[in-house]
Structure 1
Amino acid sequence: MSFSLAVSIAVFTLIAIREWLPSFLKIWHVMTAGAFVLIATGTITPKTALDAIDWNVMLYLFSVFSIGRALYENGISHRIAGWMVGWRTPGVSLVAFMMLFALVAAILTNDAAAIIGTPIALMLAHQTGADQRTFLIALCVAVTIGSMTTPIGNPQNLLIAASGEVPAPMVTFVHWLIVPTLICLGGSALWLSKRMVVTTPEGGSTDMTDTTEGTQWPVLLAIAVLVVLVTVESILAATGSDFGYPLGVAAAIACLPVYLFDGARMRTFVRLDWPTLVFFVSMFIVTGALLDSGSLQSILGEEREHMNEPLVTAGISFFGSQIFSNVPLVDMYLKLLPSFEVPNLMMLAGVSTLAGNVFIISAASNVIVLQMADRMGATEVTFTQFMKDVLPIGIVSTGVTIGWILLLEAHLSGKTF
């Protein structure tokens, strides 16, 4: 076993058992410590570590994190929560909340939706008398499933689309994945609404202050610009245009109004979720060292030749995401693939995304929601509690998606079962 593999296993094991560790130890602490150990021991050089970081993804995340935080600082998140609680019935509020943030995830990425939705989830739980954990878990599930539909729905889809191997990414993703997305989202909303416990939240005081110090139009303009730039980029890709731009750059341009015109820009910047950004940087370093060591290549052996088969991809994506989290899993998988076919890439996108609905560490958006909620003083969602509510969703939704992709592939190729 290589040292980088041992460190990776230690990191993800500590994250899995964090509920039994001291409360001051956060998920990003563990991941950052792993990256530091790998660099300090010379397992990965500083230059290789920097090269391992996907700066396009980091720029995109920084930008959408900025937009999400500005929505909260300007009181827009509070208005959304106030509108949704008007339904009065906690179960209906939960379903409406999940549908809305599944759509937000598809447009602005699951991580942005997680940031925007976390304070709203806590406000809805407080105002409806429902358990905070139910709304937080519902947010994790909704942004994961909703993000599966588009190439900009989550970082792993972004990596697949950025590979240049998916023709007309927006059209291709929607064509292959919209049906299982709708089925899985509806079933998940029904499951969680039935399990909802209406009670007085156990958590301490949460950061629910309605702040309106800034100006609202810059962040609304930022969202509009982001949607337009992402749509234009998708159209250019669909038409085979030679002109294009990285989505990280598009997001950075979109968030400029927040930092140029918003009166709360300094507070937005200071209160940005920096720990989660550090988590992502460290994660890229840890997985980069693992890939550079050749350990995975040795473990795969001759099976690497079968990585372009959808069923093999489904198995590796689902179980590998539980060990490495889905973003680094996809990053490594794309670098190891012997060839690229659309059905296999859609299987990689769909299953690696839905694999996030198993454990907390399975998806970075889960980490974002629960770390942000923890910083706001919410009731802790433990590893065990999360798994009990989410594991059935992960298994069923993954099965539905695998079946649909195989069926569609067979239909398009003229195969018969």
Structure 2
Amino acid sequence: MIAIRQWLPSWVKIWQIMTAGAVFLLVTGNISPSEALKAIDWNVIAYLFGVFAISHALFASGISNEVSNWICADSRPVPAILFYFILFVTAVSAVLTNDAAAAIGTPIAIAIAASLGIRAALPLIALCVSVTVGSMFSPVGNPQNLLIVADGHFTNPVAVFLEWLLVPGLVSLAFTLVWFWYCFSREEQGDAPSHVAPEEQTMRQWPALLSTGLLCVLVLIDSFAHGSSWAPDLPLGALSLIAAVPLFLFSSHRVQLVKEVDWHTLIFFVSMFIVTGAVLKSGALQEWLSPWHDQLGDPVLVTSIAFFGSQVFSNVPLVEIYLNLLKGHETATLMLLSGISTLAGNLFILSAASNVIIVQQTEKHGVTPFQFWQFTRYVLPVTVVSLIACYAWVAFVTELNG
């Protein structure tokens, strides 16, 4: 239904479709209420709540508007605008995770579309790709990276990710810049969205900046201190909620903050976890992987299963089960699994949670996002190039390390 949503009535939203699927599975007994509650990753929900509160504060205080004005300042040429935009969201994705970058970058992408006089779809798709690729660079870039770090017991996870995934990430970003520059040059003027900016800057800027900075510091400290005894190992959800505290302490618009949290996207994720939980309970994924149980470390098999399996079962549960079935925990295998499962998000809207967040946030701003197959058409070249780069570089580093 999500794939054909453009032909459905306009009031049908992605979160409603996913919720209907979760309700159906509950009503038919495919998953019990208690199992559904256990299937929900409340850490992710808590992280998204804090991130949505911070992203709205950045928007309502005018900071997002200032960033978009700076990116498009002085009638910069399209390549320069794309370069600064991609660089910005990549950095946010690597430090604050892809979901945070998706929420923060959406109004900026819409503003860029308005500045260039084009449809919002193309800058939004460029945002999706940059957010996904950017999350490759760090151990906190996305949830599956966190699972791999926990399983790999790396002494310095930041250095490990930079050694194995920095080069393919940079190659992917360079191609993304060139490809979307070409796409932007062919895009016709017209149907540009209004510049999304708050009608009134209802919030002070310093609490939003403080919360954003606090989240950056907490995530970085947690990353560097991972597995050490000198700092507590707090989940990302707790870090996000702690970082959002200044907003609710020092803002006089606390009720507005709560109201403006993207509750529809949170409902989508709760429903998605229930649907995924039912799939995992059925044993379909485990049965699918069982014939290759003794070959799960083979690079070609890792690449194939990580990419295509992520399209069907979502990358986070696939990585979690894959790690449980792996006999060894070679760094090369773990890094290939991380890179390919992340890049799998650049194929369909549902392949990455950040894509869904961008769609939902765009509709929340009253702007028409991209369609399902339109997204795939634009991202397919980037997907092919980035997959080849990732596989080739991991193979090269593996050979180099003997």
Shorter-chain TM band: over 0.9
Q: Which residue of 2 aligns with 1:306?
A: 295
In the TM superposition, structure 1's runs of 4+ consecutive aligned residues that sit over 4 Å from their partners are 203-207, 238-242
Q: 1:57 & 1:380 partners in 2: Cα distance?
A: 24
Displacement of 1:202 in angstroms is: 1.5
Distance 1:248 1:76 in 2: 24
Q: 1:262 to 1:307 in 2, by over 3 A?
A: farther
Change (3 A) 1:44 1:336: farther
Look up the match of 1:411: 400
Among 208, 211, 216, which residue is 1:222 paired with?
211
**Map of 2:146 onto structure 1:** 158
Give the Cα–Cα distance (whole angstroms) in 2 for the partners of residues 150 and 218 of structure 1: 27
Q: 1:380 to 1:64 in 2, by over 3 A?
A: closer
Alignment length, in residue pairs? 400
Is it true that 1:402 corresponds to 2:355 in the alignment? Answer: no
CA distance in structure 1 between the partners assigned to 2:109 and 2:268 by the alignment: 23
Distance apart, 1:68 and its partner CA = 1.3
State the partner residue of 2:356.
367
Matched, 1:376 2:362: no
Alignment correspondent of 1:125: 113
Counterparts of 1:159 and 1:72, CA distance in 2? 31
Task: Report whether the alignment pairs 1:249 with 2:253.
Answer: no
Task: Return 5+ residue gaps in structure 1 as ranges.
Answer: 1-13
CA shift for structure 1 position 115: 0.9
**Aligned equivalents of 1:310 and 1:238: distance in 2?**
28
Partner residue of 2:322?
333
1:212 aligns with 2:201: yes
Name the residue aligned to 1:343.
332
In 1: Cα distance, 2:313 partner to 2:191 partner: 32
Identity %: 46
User: 2: distance between equivalents of 1:128 and 1:398?
Assistant: 31
Distance 1:280 1:330, change over 3 A: farther
SS of 1:15's partner is: coil
AA partner of residue 361 (structure 1):
L
User: Is 1:81 aligned to residue 68 of structure 2?
Assistant: yes
Any residues of structure 2 matched to 1:134-213 within 5 Å, and which? 134-163=122-151, 165-196=153-184, 197=186, 199-202=188-191, 205=194, 207-213=196-202
- State whether residues 327 and 363 of structure 1, in contact with CA within 8 Å, keep that contact through their aligned partners in structure 2: no
Contact 1:291 1:332 in 2 (8 A): no
RMSD: 2.0
**Which residue in 2 is equivalent to 1:6?**
none
Deviations 1:250-290 (A, max 9, x none): 22111111121123332222111111111111111111111
Instruction: State the one-letter code of the partner of 2:28.
Output: T
Work out the CA distance in 2 between the residues paired with 1:329 and 1:210: 43
2:54 is the alignment partner of 1:67: yes
- TM-superposed CA distance for 1:210, in Å, is 4.4
Report the CA distance shift for 1:51/1:405 in structure 2 as closer, same or farther (over 3 A): same
- CA–CA distance in structure 2, aligned partners of residues 409 and 171 of structure 1: 16
Work out which of the residue numbers 306, 310, 318 in structure 2 matches 1:321. 310
Structure 1 position 368, deviation (Å): 1.1
Q: Tell me which of 20, 23, 41 is aligned to 1:54.
A: 41
Hey, what does 2:221 align to over in structure 1? Answer: 232
Q: Distance in 2 between matches of 1:300 and 1:87?
A: 54
Q: Does 1:101 align with 2:85?
A: no
d(CA) in 2 for partners of 1:82, 1:243: 39
Distance 1:242 1:120, change over 3 A: closer
Evaluate the alpha carbon distance shift between residue 115 and residue 243 of structure 1 in structure 2; reply closer, same or farther with a 3 A threshold.
Answer: closer
Q: Deviations over 1:34-89 (max 9, x none)?
A: 11111112211111111112222222222122211211111110010111111522
Give distance in 2, aligned partners of 1:103 and 1:66. 20
Separation in 2, partners of 1:401, 1:210: 44
Offset of residue 337 of structure 1: 3.6
Deviation digits for residues 141-191 of structure 1 (CA, Å, limit 9, x no counterpart) = 111111111111122223333446444322322222111111110111111
Label 1:109 to 1:87 Cα distance change in 2 as closer, same or farther (>3 A): farther
Pick one of 6, 20, 28 that aligns with 1:41. Answer: 28
Is this contact kept in 2: 1:357–1:363, CA < 8 A? yes
Residue 123 of structure 1, CA deviation = 0.9
CA contact (8 A) 1:73 1:264 kept: no
**TM-score normalised per structure 1:** 0.90
| Letter of the 1:159 counterpart | L
More divergent stretch after superposition (134-143 vs 46-55): 46-55
**Cα distance in 2 between the residues matched to 1:231 and 1:301:** 37
